[in-house]
Amino acid sequence: MKNIFLYCGAGLLCVLLAACGGHGGGISLDEAKDDGIPFLEAMGVDVRPLVTDEQLNLWSTNPDSVPKPNVRLSDSLAVRLLKALPETGVGQDTAQVYIVGVRPLQQGNVLVAFVLKLGRDQRVELVTYNEAGTVVDAIDVGVANGPTRNGMWNYPDEERLFSDSIACRVVDGNELMLTRVSSCIDAGDSTGMAEPRWRMERNYVYSILQDGSLELTQAKIVKLRGSLGDDDPSIAAFDMMDLLRYPHSGHGLMPKLDFQATKPANRGSRDFIAVVYQLYWRNPLPFLTWLGNNPGNHVEAVFKPLVDKGVVPRDQLMHDIERVKSPEARRQLQERLGSAGVQQGGALAAL
């Protein structure tokens, strides 16, 4: 099974933001249309043309253009708005950052859709902010740059193209639904009209909590047409990839990850080990806090060898542990992860 974290190419990308009911004292849809979003207005960013309760397309057939309407952000504003999400690379890489959609939520929170343009690649981030303009949560929707040869997996014959499409909408003001359609076609089909080798549709449903955070409540295959070949990832690999669809805050993530870590096949799987590493790297504090508060968990048996081998630098880990708020969780982590020593087998055997 190929390492599916090499994915860098995706196709059609659209986001549909539908009506959000009551706002619990926050800014209403009409107010946002008339007056903008206060914390963005204070930065000099007028997003009034981007506020809508109707569907909003976030993809373009031309990879060199950005969906319209949009607001281009200066580098300094992009860093201010996205600095809490270091995985975006804003401030480190040269990127053009655009706001392409805004939706007020309850309690003064707001959902903002960003397009990050890196060359011909376009990456979409859905981010929720509180009334003060602080990041509450985020979903990395993915990169869109059209069908890509071997974009997700290294097919040995290099005769296949992988493409992806995303749809997103807000349902009844308290749910966010993503639909991801993945397909694999023959590279020789320049028209893109050939029947795909396989086509998979998956749904991800997130609850929008009152504080603006997002909780993944469902991730499942809706349709699978055709069959996955030996060079394709298994259904289990897709299920593990779903763990990376969790939002920034990681609500409900660690118990599910811990259950997956009870399975011997996962503990020896490069894909599962990569999931554990990615989740720590993307947002270490919720990851480490849960480990510290749950002695005897199964995730640690996968994570600690990554520390012992140096895949996770120990000095960086110690720095992250010091940022954990709970004194008892910090003490547990320092005792269990702070000591040096290399374990054999398990995660190390798969690296």
Average pLDDT over residues 36-47: 97
pLDDT tens, position by position, 113-151: 898 887 666 778 889 999 999 999 998 876 544 444 433
φ and ψ of 250, to 5 deg: 75, 25
pLDDT tens, position by position, 42-64: 999 999 999 977 655 565 545 56
Give the Cβ contact number of residue 86 at 10 Å: 13
pLDDT tens, position by position, 157-171: 456 666 666 777 777
Q: Which long-range contacts (CB under 8 A, 24 or more apart) does 149-156 make?
A: 149/187, 151/7, 151/8, 151/9, 151/10, 152/4, 152/6, 152/7, 152/9, 153/2, 153/4, 153/6, 153/231, 153/232, 153/233, 154/2, 154/6, 155/231, 156/231
Mean pLDDT of the chain: 77
Separation CA 125–CA 202 (nearest Å)? 19
Average pLDDT over residues 87-104: 80
Average pLDDT over residues 182-186: 76
pLDDT tens, position by position, 256-278: 889 989 988 888 887 788 888 87
Give the Cβ contact number of residue 116 at 10 Å: 21
Higher-confidence position of 75 and 251:
75
Separation CA 278–CA 263 (nearest Å)? 19
Distance of CA 126 to the CA centre of its chain: 9
| Cβ(330)–Cβ(338) below 8 Å | no
Query: To the nearest whole percent, how much of the chain has pLDDT over 90?
Result: 29
Which of 77-91, 146-160, 171-185, 222-236 shows the lowest per-residue confidence on average (mean pLDDT)?
A: 146-160
Separation CA 132–CA 110 (nearest Å)? 10
Give the Cβ contact number of residue 72 at 10 Å: 13
Separation CA 278–CA 35 (nearest Å)? 39
Which of 206-210, 223-227, 287-291 shows the lowest per-residue confidence on average (mean pLDDT)?
A: 223-227
* 155 pLDDT higher than 50: no
Query: Coil, helix or strand for 261?
Result: helix
pLDDT at position 305? 93
Ranges of each domain in the chain: 4-251, 252-351
Sign of CA dihedral 171, 36, 144, 230: negative
Separation CA 181–CA 11 (nearest Å)? 10
* 176 pLDDT higher than 80: yes
| Cβ(300)–Cβ(306) below 8 Å | no
Separation CA 220–CA 205 (nearest Å)? 9
Higher-confidence position of 66 and 213:
213
Separation CA 179–CA 68 (nearest Å)? 22
